[in-house]
Structure 1
Amino acid sequence: MPPCPISLSGEECTSLETPVLKEEVFRVLQSMKSYKAQGPDGFQLIFFKNYWNEVGEDVWRFVAMAFETGRINPKATETLLVLIPKIDHPTTFKDFCPISLCNVVYKLVSKILVNRLRPILMRLVSPLQNNFILGHY
């Protein structure tokens, strides 16, 4: 028997489809750690925080366009995978901790999407498939 489809209420759909405001992008940017390792774009978040008055309009347009069209420039999704050694002289993969270094604008798109999905996620994901939902066991 196929699972029952879950529908979203009109209010839930609206909350997901609302155009991204410049203030929302700025608020999300401010909530993120400033000095994380830079991604392929070569920028840390602190740059965007310090120069928001100069770059904010372009950053907001990029994020808003991604939500409006459902598309994002492939260059913005490039990610560096870095293996950090857990011990001196690592010899196997288990001796490394992998981290992903993403571009700042990609992080912003992802974080805004997560923030919008968070209130309805528990209804959309089966209790059998929720291992990675924060706060749910």
Structure 2
Amino acid sequence: IVEKQVADAIDKLPGDKSGGTTGLSHDFYKDFKDEMAEYSSICGAIQKGAAVPSSFLDAVVVPLRTKGDSRNAMDYRPISLLNTAYTILGRIYAEQIHLFLPRIISLAQQGFVRGRLM
């Protein structure tokens, strides 16, 4: 995993999102993208089999109101706020998978593969 992949993943993060367990928001990572060079070496080590930092696996579960009366517990659903560093790693892996999938998925499969239309 190289620095450009990390920078591209950070660029694709939606702004104005919670930072999860660390409190470091997506905007924070965007503001300090140039200082994130070391993160590519961490991601590369994980990809080669190093242990994922335990902080990547932490999540904060919060109730999100979906409709109706805010006093009714049934009007909420739980969402997990993940560490932004973990989200970046996930985006890098997803991009790598999308590049590889067309070579292993049959041409008969048209949906959900980049460059193929239904």
TM range (shorter): 0.7 to 0.9
Map 1:56-135 onto structure 2 (within 5 A): 56-69=36-49, 71-86=51-66, 87-88=68-69, 89-92=71-74, 95-119=75-99, 120=101, 123=105
Q: Secondary structure at the match of 2:73?
A: coil
Alpha-carbon shift at residue 106 of structure 1 (Å) = 0.4
Residue number among 49, 53, 57 corresponding to 2:34 in the alignment:
53
Percent identical: 16
Q: Which residue in the other structure is 2:18 paired with?
A: 37
Corresponding residue SS for 2:48: helix
Aligned residues: 109
Q: Using the TM superposition, give the Cα deviation of residue 64 of structure 1 relative to its aligned residue in structure 2, in angstroms.
A: 1.9
Q: Structure 1 residues 35-44 or 110-119, which shifts more?
A: 110-119
| Offset of residue 44 of structure 1 | 0.3
State the shift of 1:123 in Å: 2.5
Structure 1, unmatched stretches of 5+, are 1-19
Distance, in Å, in 2 between the alignment partners of 1:28 and 1:67 is: 16
Report SS of the residue matched to 1:46: helix
Deviations 1:2-21 (A, max 9, x none): xxxxxxxxxxxxxxxxxx01
From the superposition, tell whether residues 26 and 134 of structure 1 become closer, same or farther in structure 2 (CA, over 3 Å): same
1:113 maps to a residue whose letter is Y
Secondary structure in structure 1 of the residue aligned to 2:21:
coil
* TM-score, normalisation: structure 1: 0.66
User: Which is worse superposed, 23-32 or 82-91?
Assistant: 82-91
2: CA distance between counterparts of 1:91 and 1:53? 43
Structure 1 stretches of at least 4 aligned residues deviating more than 3 Å after TM superposition: none
With structure 2 as the length reference, what TM-score do the two structures score? 0.75
> Which structure features the higher share of helix residues?
1
